[in-house]
Structure 1
Amino acid sequence: MIRSRLLFGFGVTVCFWLSGCADLNKPGNKVSLYTLEYEVAAAKDLKPLPVVLRVERFSASPLYRTESMVYREKPFKKESYSFYQWRAKPEDLVSYFFMRDLQQSGLFKAVLPAASALPATHLVLGNVEEFLEADQAPAWQAVLSVTIVLRAQKEPDIIKSILIQKTYTAIETCKFNNPQAVAEAMSRAMALVSQIMIRDVHQALAAGS
């Protein structure tokens, strides 16, 4: 009887210990959320244009339609973190920050969000091709690739209405191998891509005016 009680007590202790360890891997752990942060670079050498842009909500390639941070450790294999996430999906982050940067550039009469009912002279559409952490040795990298289309609203010929269709890619090295550093590197990538896209949009519109 005493031996049975000892075995029972040992079994309960082991089960309790195992369940405690299992809790560390349960989804109840705190989720860390990240976003982009960067300053808009001024383009003082460009003149403002009398155009009204509307930035439509961007789309994204299937692998990146998620708030979870996507990472690649080896070719042909991509994974995502459970506890490290973006505050919004990549297509929403990229379209929002690009719209913000267009607005703050001061180069256009107005820059409208997708939901605006006001008329626009031109539309900006886009797709996020890549938005991931590449686990290269010795340092991780943030990879951003975006395709945008600039289209004239009043041009009836669909071919002539497309002023730009171009893909922009930036790869930034992370200072540390952790999600916080990935967010910082992705912010630098977005700042670079946005700056180049704004100049290209301005150049295309200036050429057509």
Structure 2
Amino acid sequence: MKLKLSLLILVILQFSCKDKTEKQIENTNSKSSKVELHIKETNRFDFEKFKISKGQVGEIKVGMDLSEAEKLLKQLTKKEAEAYDFGFDGGGKAYLYSLDDEFIIGLIPKADSKEILAIVALSKNLKTSNGLNPKSAVSEIQKKYPTAKIVQNLMMDWQFIEDEKNNWDFILMTGENEPIGEFNDSNTEIKSDWITIK
């Protein structure tokens, strides 16, 4: 009888210890997964810190030194382009910053200078202080600016809607099929291509 009782106790102890070990391993694995997820999230670009407001995007301001602005964009990949592509004549350069092959922001310094002349907001994840973004539809822009006119840029062959108060231009790279300055109900879902902050 003692032998049967001893065997029963041993079997119970063995199963109870094994169950506890599996639970500890599961808990350890779930904790390490959470840590890895947290690390991956911190390496991403924080769009919340880059709100478009008057004369700036986040802490990047028109008039600041290009090298100071680039310190805030170190998670992004830099590419050189022509300032002319964004409507700035004079032979200067534009610097475009991308994340995973998507352009996020562009900085245009004054010609032969490192002082930022304009900022180009390119990603739909960058939001203005009034809730718009660089890919907002004309209908959304017109709701925020009901009296704003759509103007043609003859040099660049595009159209834009200007926010005079904040000195922003919503650029519309419309084709030949789009009438200048006329957006009726059928084509107000055309989206802007970027916002130029001056």
Common fold, TM-score beyond 0.5?
A: no
TM-score, normalised relative to structure 1? 0.30
**Larger of the two Rg values belongs to structure:** 2
Higher helix proportion: 1
Higher strand proportion: 1
TM-score, normalised relative to structure 2? 0.31
Structure with bigger RCO (C-alpha 8 Å, 6+ apart): 1
